[in-house]
Amino acid sequence: MKAWPYPTLVAHRGGGALAPENTLAALRLGQSLGFRAAEFDVKLTRDGVAILLHDATLDRTTSGSGPAGARTWEELAGLDAGGWLSDAFRGEPIARFDEAARLLRERGTLANIEIKPVPGTDRETGRELALRAGELWDGAAVPPLLSSFSFAALLAAKEAAPELPRGFIVGAPTDADFERMATLEAVSLHCARQHATRELVDRAHAAGLRVLVWTVNDPPEAERLLAWGADGIITDNLRQFATRFPALL
């Protein structure tokens, strides 16, 4: 397998359960706890601005409502993306992709960018985000890792920026998924924790793939996965994992 430049522990959505997900505040919190890698979700607004947001709709994590992809950046910029979690984060705005890239690069934090297309825009989103990631991380010693559940998005990313590494996210990997990863020339399999097994890790390694497991919040479970050879653990339990596994940050 190729050398793996990313740390073992990855902060899920920037700040795990401790900060409003996919915000600059979340990224800063993960950094403050020593995490050297952050996973976060990126999609496009109606006018093509790349923003950090997990859901297809605004309702759960912002003061807005309705489909995120139906709104322009100007319409989204004034929304509160932090108050849903606690008053301490009230007023935290939706983060733009370029802002997140700048913050991460300034502090030497590596990026696992999950391409999260607005429904029906898989190829467009994969292509645009790959091109922008290439520009935002131009000259970086370690490139961002692009990941997605969407095969179409990752295939478009491969065509647009073949030099950027790609990881395929799968709940329970099948033979067809391993074929898709070969087509994508993926470097990593990102597997749901409940479907991770020693046999799966061995199969992925034999295929030249690294294995990242999500979302692992129990330290003994993390230890078991690491003993099986898992290459990455994506967690919401930032504080406890940073204390328990400081050498893996």
- Give the whole-angstrom CA distance, residue 230 versus residue 187: 14
Domain locations in the chain as residue ranges: 9-57+96-248
Which pLDDT value is given to residue 2?
A: 81
**Structure pTM?**
0.97
Q: Which residues pair with 25 in a beta bridge?
A: none
Task: Outline where DSSP puts E strands in the chain.
Answer: 9-11, 37-44, 50-52, 110-115, 145-148, 166-170, 188-192, 210-214, 232-235
Phi-psi region of 113 (alpha: psi -120 to 50; beta: other; left: phi over 0): beta
Catalytically active residues are: 12, 54
Is the separation of the CB atoms in 146 and 164 below 8 Å?
A: yes
Max CA-CA distance within the chain?
A: 48
Which pLDDT value is given to residue 1?
A: 83
Q: 31: closest CA among 17, 14, 51?
A: 14
Which pLDDT value is given to residue 214?
A: 98
Is the separation of the CB atoms in 236 and 12 below 8 Å?
A: yes
Reading the chain (249 residues) residue by residue, the pLDDT tens digits are: 889 999 999 999 999 999 999 999 999 999 999 999 999 999 999 999 999 999 999 999 999 999 999 999 999 999 999 999 999 999 999 999 999 999 999 999 999 999 999 999 999 999 999 999 999 999 999 999 999 999 999 999 999 999 999 999 999 999 999 999 999 999 999 999 999 999 999 999 999 999 999 999 999 999 999 999 999 999 999 999 999 999 999
- Give the whole-angstrom CA distance, residue 170 versus residue 249: 24
- Give the whole-angstrom CA distance, residue 6 versus residue 145: 9
CATH number for region 9-57+96-248? 3.20.20.190
